[in-house]
Amino acid sequence: MGLFSLTKEIAIDLGTANTIILHNDKIVIDEPSIVAIDKISQKLIAVGKEAALMRGKENPNITTIRPLRQGVIADFNAAELMIRGLVKKSSGSKGWFSPSLRMVVGIPSGSTEVQIRAVRDSSEHAGGRDVYMIYEPMAAALGIGLDVEAPAGNMIVDIGGGTTEIAVISLGGIVTNKSIQIAGDDLTEDIINHMRRAHNLRVGERTAEQIKIHVGSALTELENPPEDYVVHGPNHVTALPMEVPVSYQEIAHCLEKSISKIETAVLNALEQTPPELYADIVKNGIWLAGGGAMIRGLDKRLTDKIGIQFHVADDPLLSVARGTAVALKNVDKFSFLIR
């Protein structure tokens, strides 16, 4: 059937920072969730990586938009253009026949009916014929390889770009969940503010993200510390060029407040967990997924603070995406999918 297949099946992890699309268990798109639009015609100029390169360098006729904020669609039109553009990119097809799409899309567990509707409408307008949705912590659990339908408690902490999703899963359902709007974007913002306050250095989102990747840490003492990262940028007052080396200890202090809020949210979710499931969690440990799970020392810090072993998923950035692909294969089996 191949080329003339009428229905194409894709799994989408629609993230605040990155969107990942899988087809036949292969990642066909892993690009920033951003679009560049012509201000006058409102037509799409670029999507994903190409649009990200334009960020902060636009002329007056172009605007770059991140359609998702804090895990939900903030700009409906831009979201539709982004999904459509990335789906088209993923197919690589320029032929006349566009297959109808069956999609499973990951959404935050704290989504309201209005927010769920926005994702569904954007997906349908982008070509989705059958659109299913799955809560991100459930998708992360599937991606990690946990048996979500077993009568046992598993806890997932999914630290994405816009939200941190904390959920206890048992018997194919979410028993306890907490969604907080403290996540990767907030850590990036913390770094931007810190560089301005501590060094009088002005940095943008992309530079702050690089600082987070190279020297981001949740602890001031690491067994394998990274080398200092040299940041270049303009002085906030004089606009003269500066060169500032940044250590992981400095960034650990700078991220302290936001990471403490994630700790508190995990403790609150544990407080609401039924005793039998709590006992399972103590035995099985807690799983960290999402890009935020890659902050150095985060698992150790949480383990020491809470007294339950934290495990980082093998590929935390792709956990939700891979779980969404598992759900796509088992659409008829999993009752927890939202249609």
**98 pLDDT band (50/70/90 cuts)?**
low
> Structurally, how many domains does the chain consist of?
1
- The CA distance from 74 to 69, in Å, is 6
Is there a domain that residue 281 lies in?
Answer: no
Is there a domain that residue 221 lies in?
Answer: no
pLDDT at 97: 44
Indicate the DSSP class of residue 225: P
Q: Kind of pairing, strands 173-180 and 72-73?
A: unpaired
pLDDT tens-place string over residues 8-30 = 889 999 888 899 999 988 999 99
- The pTM assigned to this predicted structure is 0.88
Mean pLDDT score, 247-259: 96
What whole-number percentage of the chain has pLDDT above 90?
66
Is there a domain that residue 238 lies in?
Answer: no
Q: 3 pLDDT exceeds 60?
A: no
Is there a domain that residue 124 lies in?
Answer: yes
Q: Are 119 and 105 in contact (CB under 8 A)?
A: yes
Is there a domain that residue 309 lies in?
Answer: no
Is there a domain that residue 96 lies in?
Answer: yes
Is there a domain that residue 262 lies in?
Answer: no
Q: What is the CATH number of the domain that holds 92?
A: 3.30.420.40
- The CA distance from 290 to 303, in Å, is 18
pLDDT tens-place string over residues 66-83 = 998 877 888 888 988 998
Q: What ranges in the chain are assigned the alpha helix state H?
A: 49-54, 76-91, 113-125, 136-144, 184-199, 205-215, 248-271, 275-284, 298-306, 319-329
Mean pLDDT score, 224-230: 95
161-173 per-residue burial string, b: 16 or more CB within 10 A, e: under 16 = bbbbbbbbbbeee
Query: Please, which residues have CB within 8 angstroms of residue 144's CB and are 6 or more apart in sequence?
Result: 156, 287, 289, 313, 314, 319, 323
Lowest mean pLDDT across 115-124, 229-238, 263-272: 115-124
* Structural domain containing residue 104: 2-139+321-329
Q: 193 pLDDT exceeds 50?
A: yes
pLDDT at 72: 81
Is there a domain that residue 339 lies in?
Answer: no
Phi, then psi, of 316 in degrees rounded to 5: -60, -35
